[in-house]
A and B are shown apart, each in its own frame.
Chain A
Amino acid sequence: MQTQRIVNVGVGGQGNLLASNLLGQAALDAGLPVVVSEIHGMAQRGGVVESAVIIGEAKSPIVSDAEADIIVSFEPVETLRILNKAHKNTLIITNTRPLPPFTVAIGQAAYPAPEDSLAYIRRKVKNVISFDGQDLAEQAKNPLSLNMVMLGALFAAGNLPVPVKSIKKMIKANSKERFLAANLQAFDLGFAAAGGQ
């Protein structure tokens, strides 16, 4: 089977590691070979957090530059920063709601206009899906469910070998009772936003 290399990127606290873990468990549930990798420690204090899910026969737990098949980015500036992992046919799914780093807050750096960033990405990469995922998470009544929104979009557009029922099973198994309905709704909203039916 074709190996699929998926990179999830976001900011500490956005739930990116959980998204990768759930996707890994769903792949295993579907009987597919899978490797997940993540970075812990210093990187979690508000820094950039990156994880990878590799579905298929490949053994390597990480994705090299220019070799991601899919990039799921939880924050627009981080989409720009991770472009080194993309090639021209990489599918990029990006949240458009900015989460400016404190370097911007203290005036050390400027935050690029989201529409300019998106235009730049579209010039470099053919397949780009963008939407305000944070807005969808808020619609689902759990602002922390952005990771579920992004997973939904990945399942709609990513042509994954993992069935939706496997990921929903893992969302159910790993959500606290009071967040479950919101998480599933967030997944569905993300799924619809990325053109899934």
Chain B
Amino acid sequence: MDKLLTPGGGKTELLLGNEAIVRGALEAGVAFATCYPGTPSSEVPDTLYRLRKAEPDQVQYYFEYSTNEKVAMECAAGAAVAGLRTLVTMKHVGINVAADPLMTLAYTGVNGGMVILSADDPSLFSSQNEQDNRFYARLSGLPMLEPSSPSELKEATKHAFELSEKLTVPVMLRTTTRVNHAREAVKFAKLPKAKTQVEFKKDPFRFVTVPAVSRQLHLRLLKVYEQAQAISEASELNQVIGRGKLGVICAGVAANYVFDALNDLEATGKVKVLKLGMTWPLPEKMILKFLKSCDKVLVVEELEPLMENAARALAQENGVKVKIAGKGPKLFSRAYEFNPRLVRDVIGHYFGLKYKATKPLDLSDQPALPGRPPTLCPGCPHRATYYAVKEVVGTNAIHPTDIGCYTLGMLPPISMADFVICMGSSVSSSGGFARATGQKVVSFIGDSTFFHSGITGLVNAVHNNHNFTLVILDNGTTAMTGHQPHPGVDTEKIGDPTTHVDLEAVVRSLGVTHVTTIKPLKVKASVEAIRAAVEHEGVSVIISQELCPLFARRVAPKSRKPFEVRLDKCKGHLDCVKKVACPAMFVEDGKARINPLQCIGCALCAQICPENAILPVKAEA
């Protein structure tokens, strides 16, 4: 049995933060879970999916990968309003997609406990922005928990379900990459029997948000907020640690940096810490008492100065003269994540505490290093699609693109990404670019992203007579985030009981008349089909269909037949290296070579070599 399903308590395991969320949800008796995957949240749904698939008799919950975060939120809302304990997970920008249901679900509230995971990404390890989703607690009026480590994360998840049921509203669980992707010893408690079916009790004057109802519901939410604040004041998640006349207020992963810094600075007895685990509503009385007991206070929070501004407002309102700082020159920045040294330096500087830190090496004489940006894998079919499109439109077309592995097409030598802001923006922005410029527009979107939020944009384009070609890079999976299924996945291949939705049929049903499905590794035929699509006046769609090789290796393994460069034929044009830039290729003595361990035999380079010098590796005689 998987360790996460251990029914009894007492065991201690090294868990990833995201696995700790799963264990916490199981210990709370979660009955329903939905998501759209996205780093750094993905291992939560992936673990739920894996457990259900591997041990269907052991798990009690329903789980689905929803088509997008709004759908995930609404599906979860149905289950939670009916009365089940429900978990919905997404990355920070996913909350933007789900913000519409979120804001009004806060009004209606829920009957079963509902926990919403917002996994933020300060320093943008895998994201298009580093927005601070603590604002969403303030915007929606919903309570928010912010644990600092995997062990706290498990407890907080469990607690969030109870809190949600007590307050009858969803509770937001906000994490950051360094909490999601840290591993730590986590102690298990026992798993309860979950309530998995309920009868819905109709209550239209609570759940049907026509204006007359919602006017009352807003007052209800404000009352819930007051109750939540009283809970926050008394919560064990919020506590003062240590003593002294200097104070630090912190939450989330930054709290770890604070405690390590105070240890290094030997500040015990001088600096006390108000560590918040429930960060909305803020425990205002507790903060005020803390401010009054200090001569000087530093607020240590990544991204926006939310706790800092709240502390300042409380001090002003109550005539407390204590000096409060957080963001500013020689203090903390509003950009990027913190680290232990930075926090120690700022605490030391602000409170006048000395520490002899290790000296950084002088690396000013370091030779230039070759960059190692992430790149499309050897044999990735996106590379072939990009090559074929460029053969047709050259370098003057505009390429709105989208979010997935194929965003890596921005790097040379492909250089075919001109605009991306969010999931689905490729399709909708294409119409704007085409009308504003009159230039040729060929945009790119992945299959999962198309189902997520490309469909509405495409309907709009057909209806409003836009003029562009959309290339749907259909690799049969959600590759970037770890090969999660989506509506277009081959459900038989992955052995799922879900229903396959045909991508081409969807595109045609939206009113697109010029639709061609190509096999991108057949270069010549692909180029011809793309040329016809680009010449078509109006909206045309190319579906470029080839499984992600990493995914194929798992679901449809084939023997690998690597290629080699016949050095007697190669004349060193290096078209293959310059135009294709597959990581399996390298140059030696002016000629292209192929690393047989990396080549998967996609044969793209073989088809573009002007000398036909690239051929399958000869079997050893």
Min C-beta distance of B309 to chain A, whole Å: 26
Q: Does A135 make an interface contact (CB < 8 A)? A: no
Question: What residues of B have a CB within 8 angstroms of the CB of A11 in the complex?
Answer: 372
Min C-beta distance of B146 to chain A, whole Å: 15
Question: What residues of A have a CB within 8 angstroms of the CB of B413 in the complex?
Answer: 106
Contact A45 B375 (CB under 8 A): yes
Contact B375 A46 (CB under 8 A): yes
- Which segment of A55-63, A148-156, A177-185 sits at the interface? A55-63
Contact B39 A41 (CB under 8 A): yes
A67 to B358, CA, bound (A): 7
Min C-beta distance of A176 to chain B, whole Å: 15
Kindly name the residue among A12, A58, A86 whose own CB sees the greatest number of chain B CB atoms within 10 A.
Answer: A58
> Per-position contact with A for B365-385: 1 when CB-CB < 8 Å, else 0?
011111111111100000000
The number of chain B residues with a CB under 8 A from chain A is: 63
Contact A61 B360 (CB under 8 A): no
Counting contact residues on chain A (CB < 8 A from B), the size range is 35 or more
> Contacts A42-B374, A47-B374 given: A102-B40 contact, CB under 8 Å?
no
Contact A36 B125 (CB under 8 A): no
A28 to B375, CA, bound (A): 35
Contact A46 B377 (CB under 8 A): yes
Contact B181 A40 (CB under 8 A): yes
Contact A35 B585 (CB under 8 A): no
Question: What residues of B have a CB within 8 angstroms of the CB of A63 in the complex?
Answer: 340
Nearest A residue to B43 via CB reads A40
Contact B370 A59 (CB under 8 A): no
Q: Does A110 make an interface contact (CB < 8 A)? A: yes
> Per-position contact with B for A11-31: 1 when CB-CB < 8 Å, else 0?
110000000010011001000
Contact A45 B374 (CB under 8 A): yes
Kindly name the residue among A21, A67, A111, A116 whose own CB sees the greatest number of chain B CB atoms within 10 A.
Answer: A67
Question: What residues of A have a CB within 8 angstroms of the CB of B480 in the complex?
Answer: 41-42
Q: Does B481 make an interface contact (CB < 8 A)? A: yes
A83 to B366, CA, bound (A): 10
Main secondary structure of the interface of B (DSSP, over half): loop
> Per-position contact with A for B175-208: 1 when CB-CB < 8 Å, else 0?
0011101111100000000000000000000000
Contact A77 B372 (CB under 8 A): yes
Question: What residues of B have a CB within 8 angstroms of the CB of A48 in the complex?
Answer: 372
A110 to B83, CA, bound (A): 62
Q: Does A195 make an interface contact (CB < 8 A)? A: no
Question: What residues of A have a CB within 8 angstroms of the CB of B366 in the complex?
Answer: 80, 83, 120
Q: Does A43 make an interface contact (CB < 8 A)? A: yes
A50 to B105, CA, bound (A): 40
Min C-beta distance of A20 to chain B, whole Å: 8
> Contacts A77-B370, A102-B583 given: A61-B361 contact, CB under 8 Å?
no
The one of B260, B339, B342, B370 that contacts A103, using a Cβ cutoff of 8 Å: B370
Q: Does B286 make an interface contact (CB < 8 A)? A: no
> Contacts A42-B39, A42-B125 given: A105-B585 contact, CB under 8 Å?
yes
Q: Does A175 make an interface contact (CB < 8 A)? A: no
A100 to B598, CA, bound (A): 13
> Contacts A24-B14, A83-B366 given: A61-B372 contact, CB under 8 Å?
no
- Which segment of B251-259, B323-331, B517-525, B539-547 sits at the interface? B251-259
Min C-beta distance of A158 to chain B, whole Å: 18
Min C-beta distance of A89 to chain B, whole Å: 8
> Per-position contact with A for B128-166: 1 when CB-CB < 8 Å, else 0?
000000000000000000001100000000000000000
A108 to B372, CA, bound (A): 11
Question: What residues of A have a CB within 8 angstroms of the CB of B505 in the complex?
Answer: none
The one of B357, B370, B581 that contacts A66, using a Cβ cutoff of 8 Å: B357
Contact B370 A109 (CB under 8 A): yes
Question: What residues of A have a CB within 8 angstroms of the CB of B12 in the complex?
Answer: 28
Q: Does B587 make an interface contact (CB < 8 A)? A: yes
Contact B481 A41 (CB under 8 A): yes
Question: What residues of A have a CB within 8 angstroms of the CB of B179 in the complex?
Answer: 61
The one of A35, A107, A117 that contacts B183, using a Cβ cutoff of 8 Å: A35
Q: Does A139 make an interface contact (CB < 8 A)? A: no
Contact A83 B375 (CB under 8 A): no
Within B493-510, the residues touching A (CB, 8 Å) are none
Question: What residues of B have a CB within 8 angstroms of the CB of A120 in the complex?
Answer: 366-367
Q: Does B42 make an interface contact (CB < 8 A)? A: yes
Contact A125 B361 (CB under 8 A): yes
Q: Does B75 make an interface contact (CB < 8 A)? A: no
Question: What residues of B have a CB within 8 angstroms of the CB of A67 in the complex?
Answer: 340-341, 357-358
> Per-position contact with A for B558-584: 1 when CB-CB < 8 Å, else 0?
000000000000000000011001110
Contact B405 A45 (CB under 8 A): yes
A13 to B610, CA, bound (A): 32
The one of A39, A45, A60, A111 that contacts B177, using a Cβ cutoff of 8 Å: A39
A61 to B582, CA, bound (A): 35
> Contacts A36-B14, A45-B377, A124-B363 given: A110-B370 contact, CB under 8 Å?
yes
For this complex, 12 residue pairs linking A to B, each with C-beta atoms less than 8 Å apart, are A41-B125, A42-B125, A45-B377, A47-B374, A59-B255, A59-B256, A59-B260, A66-B341, A66-B357, A67-B341, A87-B360, A103-B372
- Beyond A59-B148, A61-B178, 12 additional contacts (C-beta under 8 Å) are A28-B14, A37-B178, A37-B182, A38-B183, A45-B377, A64-B339, A64-B342, A66-B359, A104-B370, A106-B413, A108-B370, A124-B362
Residues of B near any A CB (own CB < 8 A): 12, 14, 39-40, 42-43, 125-126, 148-149, 177-179, 181-185, 253, 255-257, 259-260, 263, 339-342, 357-363, 366-377, 405, 408, 412-413, 480-481, 577-578, 581-583, 585-587, 597
Q: 8 shortest A-B CB distances, which residue pairs?
A: A41-B126, A64-B341, A41-B39, A109-B370, A47-B374, A45-B374, A36-B183, A59-B256
